[in-house]
Amino acid sequence: MGPAVRFELWLEDQVTAARLGRLETPHGPVETPVFMPVGTQASVKTLDPGEVREVGSQIILCNTYHLYLRPGADVVREAGGLHRFMAWNGPILTDSGGFQVFSLASLRRIGEEGVTFRSHIDGSSHFIGPAESIRIQEALGADIIMAFDECTPYPAPREAVERAVARTVAWARTCRAVHSRSDQALFGIVQGGVHLDLRAACAQALLELDFPGYAIGGLSVGEPRPLLYETLAHTAALLPREKPRYLMGVGTPEDMIEAIAHGVDMCDCVFPTRVARHGTAFARDGRITIRNATYARDFTPLDPECRCRVCRTYTRAYIRHLIKAGEHLGARLTTYHNLHFMHELVREAREAIRAGNFAAWKDATLARLTKDETGEG
């Protein structure tokens, strides 16, 4: 039997590190680079699976920590796995649960074997280590699963980052050893904060374990953007050319384009859906805060250049009214549009790589995206 996920690298940009490729998974192909919407609790908030597919989603991410607590991995397994449970027939990636556990600073205790923590739902006590994380993810049944890792905040003392890297590597070995499902691909996660030497050491140790794909974790946790991009560029260049590269939790439109330019194949983030629910919509000439009074009588689409169903049907004035009135439809429409916008951006990036003009496309696109609502850059 072949690998659960196969990656084909089709083309590399001659000016940047951008790459064009394809992931073959048990639930279908994924053209890369790709943006993955986050379905934290087996749901991309406000949208049904048909709409998630309609906006252009190829693969979605679900959260191990949340699904472990509710409804429980056993319930999902009895339902036939995540694909059947949530009626999504495309590829799924699950994170390890590590980031959520480590973000519960007041509710958890880290040890060499794993993390003891209290549920944010009912205060009950739980333990997740590398073996437990893999067992949960095997029960959930995603196509791609992640090794259990330790994510440090920014800033953090170097000694703390060193300890986190050591645990991440040790836990990755355990994850590799206990993983048993041949229809799932297990990716390793490179940590190391913003310390380039620690990133290199972590990557080297994980490469020796020969994972079928590698993720870059621990970024977009408070560090300045120039430092984020410097660390990203350094880390991505350490990873195998022939294997997929996944940047975890970084997903503004601007960050996604920069990530692609640095050789990243996969991105995910809650940002597009989270800001949508609070009334922020993406547009080619910068984000718009639809709650603002200036849109009360604006009868144009959210983005005049967008061809999504929302922009073909509804106006800024109407969507502003829904958001201000607390109508759920407002959040649904902005979420639909924002995800469509992200997928269109990454589709254009793929086309630009294929045409050999990615660098020019990147510069022109970023110049427009970074305008504010007054039209100023």
**Catalytic positions:** 95, 268
- Strand 144-146 to 185-190 pairing: parallel
| Residue 286 identity | G
Q: What is the rounded CA–CA span in Å between residue 201 and residue 161?
A: 12
- Residues 148 and 115: beta-carbon distance below 8 Å: no
Please choose, from the candidates 58, 15, 31, the residue with its C-alpha nearest in 3D space to the C-alpha of residue 362.
15
C-alpha closest to that of 90 among 37, 127, 41, 126:
37
DSSP-assigned letters across all residues of 85-123: HTT--S-EEE--SHHHHHH-TTTEEE-SS-EEEE-TTT-
The length of the chain is 377
Question: Rounded CA gap, 323 and 276, in Å?
Answer: 10
How far apart are the C-alpha atoms of 263 and 247, rounded to whole Å?
10
